[in-house]
Amino acid sequence: MSGRAPEVVRVATAAPYDVTVGRGLLASVPDLLRRTLPGVRRVALVHPEPLGALADDLAARLGEHDALTVLRLPVPDGEVAKTVTTAERCWTALGAAGFTRSDAVLTLGGGATTDLGGFVAAAWLRGVPVVHVPTTLLAMVDAAVGGKTGVNSAAGKNLVGAFHEPAAVVCDLDLLATLPRAELVAGMAEVVKCGFVADPAVLDLVEADPGAALDPAGDVLAELVVRAVRVKADVVAGDLRERGGDATGHPGREALNYGHTLAHAIERAHDYGVRHGEAVAIGCVFVADLARRAGLLDAAVAERHRTVLAAVGLPTTHDATPFDELLATMRVDKKSRGASLRLVVLHALADPRILADPDEGLLRAAYAATGPAPGEPHEEEAP
Ligand SMILES: NC(=O)c1ccc[n+]([C@@H]2O[C@H](COP(=O)([O-])OP(=O)(O)OC[C@H]3O[C@@H](n4cnc5c(N)ncnc54)[C@H](O)[C@@H]3O)[C@@H](O)[C@H]2O)c1
Ligand SMILES: O=C(O)C(=O)C[C@@H](O)[C@H](O)[C@H](O)COP(=O)(O)O
Ligand SMILES: [Zn+2]
């Protein structure tokens, strides 16, 4: 996409919107806002503190626009900011500024910021428009698209939130140039997830040249972003509110939660101090092994999880957090129904299904198999 025109992916829900993927797109944000939200006079720019210089740049561009004024809402960096306390600080600032329904929220940041800013917009005056400008790979391919917004709480990950679709999403791939390598790698977990649940060509691309897949200036990464956004757009258009699948057995939007039941439990057990993408990678390896043990998934496809995720530098083993602690959290996952634990598994590549109430012995065996390598301390081998 170096010299290519931006790609536009339409999310065809009841209130359709476009996700634009390309380079040098930051400059187009003021125009896009005017076209998409012609009545808006003010924008509240939510961004993490470390992205202050980038936010200055965007605010200046917006300020040049005669009809738009900018209210800056810097928030603490990363997952720790994804709390109702930070959201409340934002609402207080919106109140002080007399922010009305003819104003909009604009987020600039990673998934923690798009989730938080989206939730601030969803709840303020019962919903003001939001536009996302994601700055991490993970937020471009996943968090900024689809309208899930929310915050973490002591009870669990993302348990407080709302569905609130953006009016537009702008993915400027040039912004990835400054993203730390570990964050780029973490984002690749959601890309690979899309490969397993819906678009195996993603896996072929990553396996063919993992280095190229992780080059933020290259065309392979651009292609992967577009493919992952298409997967998300297609799934979300069919089941925005995660009501469930259809007669074919496809689980609808829950498919995008592949690997997330264990991942969210790992994140909570570590007080949200691990990268979401890294936890998702471990969760995918775990659930693939579970499906193999349950006789649902071919061993080669299960093993492919380990190899493709490792090829891009993602972790494929957990740190031996006691499984009982994780299992208790897994049971309060949003996919649970009553006492029933429900996980997304694969029956084959691009064939996601729900596995309800898996045998606990199988769960424990799959968790043990996803543990540290032999020789390292291992929960199940402890005396
Ligand atoms: N709503 C959804 O559908 C959805 C989907 C997937 C993930 N999520 C959520 O997204 C969050 C994870 O998002 P994330 O991985 O983007 O993490 P993040 O938002 O915490 O960002 C990671 C780090 O990268 C820095 N950063 C961001 N952009 C940068 C840039 N261009 N240059 C330099 N540094 C930059 C941030 O300041 C931060 O330190 C989790 O809370 C997860 O639950 C939501
Ligand atoms: O968009 C979805 O639906 C997803 O499940 C995408 C996930 O990658 C994302 O982490 C999402 O926030 C998890 O959703 P949750 O409902 O389990 O909080
Ligand atoms: Zn995720």
Distance from the CA of 256 to the center of ligand 2, in angstroms?
Answer: 6
DSSP codes joined into one string, 12-50: -SSS-EEEEEESS-GGGHHHHHHHH-TT--EEEEEEEGG
pTM of the complete model: 0.97
What does the buried/exposed string (b/e) look like for 224-262 if buried means 16 or more CB atoms within 10 Å of the residue's CB? bbbbbbbbbbebbbebbebeebeeeebbbbbbbbbbbbb
Q: Is 257 in the pocket of ligand 2 (CB under 6 A)?
A: yes
Residue closest via CA to ligand 1's atom 33 equals 179
Distance 300 CA to ligand 3 centre (A): 24
Tell me the per-residue pLDDT of 241-268, one tens digit each, with 9 for 90 and over: 999 888 899 999 999 999 999 999 999 9
- Sorted by sequence, the CB contacts under 8 Å of residue 214 that are 6+ apart come out as 181, 184, 185, 188, 221, 312, 313
Can you give the pLDDT at residue 247? Answer: 86
Of 75, 61, 157, nearest to 114 by C-alpha is 75
| Residue 114 marked ligand-binding | yes
Report CA(238)–ligand 2 centroid distance (Å).
Answer: 15
The model's pLDDT over 84-95, given as tens digits with 9 standing for 90+, comes to 999 999 999 999
In angstroms, the Cα distances linking 105 to 43, 128, 142, 149 are 5, 7, 19, 13
pLDDT, position 375: 63
Q: Is the CB of 190 under 6 A from ligand 2?
A: yes
**Domains parsed from the chain with CATH numbers:** 7-179 (3.40.50.1970), 187-381 (1.20.1090.10)
ipTM of the complex as predicted: 0.99
The pLDDT value recorded for residue 156 is: 87
The pLDDT tens digits of the residues spanning 308-320 come to: 999 999 999 999 9
Residue nearest (by alpha carbon) to ligand 1 atom 9: 111
The token pair at 227 is 């493919």
List the residue whose alpha carbon is closest to atom 2 of ligand 2.
256
